Chain A
Amino acid sequence: MAPHGNPEAPASAASEINREAPKVAATTNESTTTKPASGPAVTSHGATEETPWSLWEVFVRSSRGLSHVHAGSLHAPDAAMALRNARDLYTRRNEGVSIWVVPAEAISSSDPDSKGSFFESPQGKDYRHATYYTKSEGVKHL
């Protein structure tokens, strides 16, 4: 079987293992420096020196009438791109009718180490729940 132009068509049997050592490590970074300088192309510096895109948290409203719920996070250079990326990443199957993106660094959160004390006050206050009141059991519409 030799499908037209299939780069993966077997030079040898497909199940045969290539015993040659991988050439990946040897060619590191060379391809970037030898490119002709056309357009704003790749400069000689490696990917690590790029300005990293910042982290955004994504919230999706799945349908009208519901709140936005945290869906995940992504990287983007600005809010407009973050929204577009969020659409492609988190709503490929009509999962949302509205999206919020928030810079991750703008979110303040409670300290996980003090979760005990921080959430202490509702404890022992069962009377805030309807189930605390048992005398009315059996009374209709209450």
Chain B
Amino acid sequence: MASQNLQSVPAELSPEEQEREAAGQAYFDRIISEDSRIEPRDWMPAAYRKTLLRQISQHAHSEIIGMQPEANWITRAPSLKRKSILMAKVQDEAGHGLYLYSAAETLGQSRDQMMEDLIAGKARYSSIFNYPTISWADMGAIGWLVDGAAICNQVPLCRASYGPYGRAMVRICKEESFHQRQGFEILLELSNGTPAQKQMAQDAVNRWYAPSLMMFGPPDDDSPNSKQSMAWNIKRFSNDELRSRFVGMMVEQVRVLGLTLPDKDIRFNEETKKWEHGPLDWNEFKEVLAGRGPCNSQRVERRREAHESGAWVREAAVAYARKQAQKENAA
């Protein structure tokens, strides 16, 4: 197996262990071929565990970091209603992060370790959250485009072969549809407002369009892990397939908004029956992913600050719990 750094499997296996490994692999293969689900205590290949752990923890980190670009507008939301909605949405993102951390934990990684990796700048998260939110209309564009792309990506993940991941995704997808609709509504209202408001909405769509397409990951011929993930039934569709579907949906919806997508190359290919879009700047994607996006250091710094400033609360809660337990024992 390519990597075994997550399980302490000794290099040399005894015949007995080899037999157990072989039986485990056979069982695993059967479950996957039946399109059934793997559960935490099942035997699984080390590489499967590693792939899932990477994907789920990155996904969790994305939800947690994703709170920041939107939290940026809570104090400046245009009305009390919008403020309440935005707070509910940011709270949902926290919830999604927690569901996913729980799922990742079932693979044997501690939550503290994941948090450490994130605030040490070692863990990756979706590149989209490293872009700044400079106007209120960005709340609309994030909901409509970014959450829209996320839903497109996440609906098939509800059927991921790893049970805890699929279950977390079901819960998340249920909640995401509110996110996308509220974003759409923000844009629609701005679009029907004054010319300046409409321009603000268009500007936000222009800025978030390409980064949201890049959320689906690199093109298929440059996505080394995709094939294996699909063979394991973790991913169900390729990056390009999902991206093309997303473009098709956005083309329809942007008309209702009375806005345009900043891409003159969008067309429906009658031959392949797929939507096509203009070229994307994959160098920018790689730069942002490598930590050189507009807000990378700010996002991680803020998370670290929150985590460390909250340490005394977590410690106090433990101390209180300990004291209460002692009292109970004494009584």
Report A's interface with B, CB cutoff 8 A: 1, 3-10, 14-25, 27-28, 31-32, 39-43, 47-48, 50-53, 55, 72-75, 77-78, 81, 88-89, 92-93, 109, 112-113
Query: Which residues of chain A are within 8 angstroms of B203 by Cβ–Cβ distance?
Result: 1
Taking a contact as CB atoms under 8 Å apart, the answer to whether A92 and B91 are in contact is: yes
Give the complex CA separation of A10 and B300 in angstroms: 18
Q: Is the CB of B91 within 8 A of A8?
A: no
The answer to whether A53 touches B314, judged by C-beta atoms less than 8 angstroms apart, is yes
Contact residue range for chain B?
Answer: 35 or more
Contact call B102/A74, Cβ cutoff below 8 A:
yes
Q: Any chain A CB within 8 A of the CB of B293?
A: yes
Decide yes or no: A112 and B41 within 8 Å by CB, A17-B292, A32-B308, A72-B99 being known contacts. Answer: yes
How many residue pairs link A and B with beta carbons under 8 A? The number is: 141
User: Which residue of the partner chain, among A3, A81, A113, contacts B321 with CB atoms under 8 Å?
Assistant: A81
A10–chain B nearest beta-carbon distance, Å = 6
- Is A42 a contact of B311 with CB atoms below 8 Å? yes
**Are A8 and B134 in contact, CB atoms less than 8 angstroms apart?**
yes
Residues 157 to 208 of chain B near chain A (Cβ within 8 Å): 167-168, 171, 175, 200, 203, 207
Complex Cα distance, B287 from A92, in Å, reads 37
Query: B223 at the A/B interface (Cβ < 8 Å)?
Result: no
Contacts of B287 in A (CB 8 A): 17, 19
Instruction: Given the known inter-chain contacts A3-B134, A8-B132, A24-B300, please indicate yes or no for A53 contacting B292, CB distance below 8 A.
Output: no
Chain B residues with Cβ under 8 A from A89's Cβ?
A: 95, 98-99
Does A40 contact B102, Cβ atoms closer than 8 Å? no
Q: Is B291 an interface residue (CB 8 A)?
A: yes
Interface of A, secondary structure class, is loop
Q: Is the CB of A78 within 8 A of B98?
A: no
- Give the contacting residue for B324; candidates A1, A78, A92, A109; CB below 8 A: A78
Distance in angstroms between the alpha carbons of A43 and B309 in the assembled complex: 10
Interface of B, helix, strand, loop or mixed by DSSP:
helix
- Residues B296 and A92 in contact, CB atoms below 8 Å apart: no
Question: Within the complex, which residue of B98, B132, B312 is in contact with A14, where a contact is CB–CB below 8 Å?
Answer: B132
Given contacts A23-B301, A52-B112, A53-B317, 9 further A-B contacts (CB under 8 A): A6-B134, A8-B69, A8-B295, A19-B287, A47-B308, A48-B116, A50-B314, A74-B102, A77-B314
In contact, B72 and A6 (Cβ under 8 angstroms):
yes
Task: Say how far A8's CB is from chain B's closest CB, in angstroms.
Answer: 4
List, in ascending order, chain B residues with CB within 8 A of A7's CB: 72
B34 within 8 A of A: no
Interface presence of B218 (CB below 8 A): no
Q: For the complex, is B120 an interface residue (Cβ under 8 Å from A)? A: yes
Tell yes or no: B305 within 8 A of A by CB.
yes
Q: A88–B88 Cα gap in the complex (Å)?
A: 11
Question: Smallest CB–CB gap between B301 and chain A, Å?
Answer: 6
Q: Does B35 contact A (CB under 8 A)?
A: no
Cα of A22 to Cα of B101 in the assembled complex, Å: 25
The reply to whether A28 and B295 form a contact with Cβ atoms under 8 Å apart is no
> CA–CA, A1 to B284, complex, Å?
24
* B296-329 with Cβ < 8 A to chain A: 296-297, 300-301, 304-305, 307-309, 311-312, 314-318, 320-321, 324-325
Residues of B within 8 A of A72 (CB): 99, 102, 167-168, 171
Residues 86 to 132 of chain B near chain A (Cβ within 8 Å): 88, 91-92, 95, 98-99, 102, 105, 110-112, 115-116, 119-121, 131-132
Which residue of A9, A22, A55, A78 contacts B105 across the interface (Cβ within 8 Å)? A55
Partner of B297, one of A6, A22, A112: A22
Among B69, B76, B135, B300, chain A packs the most CB atoms within 10 A around the CB of B135
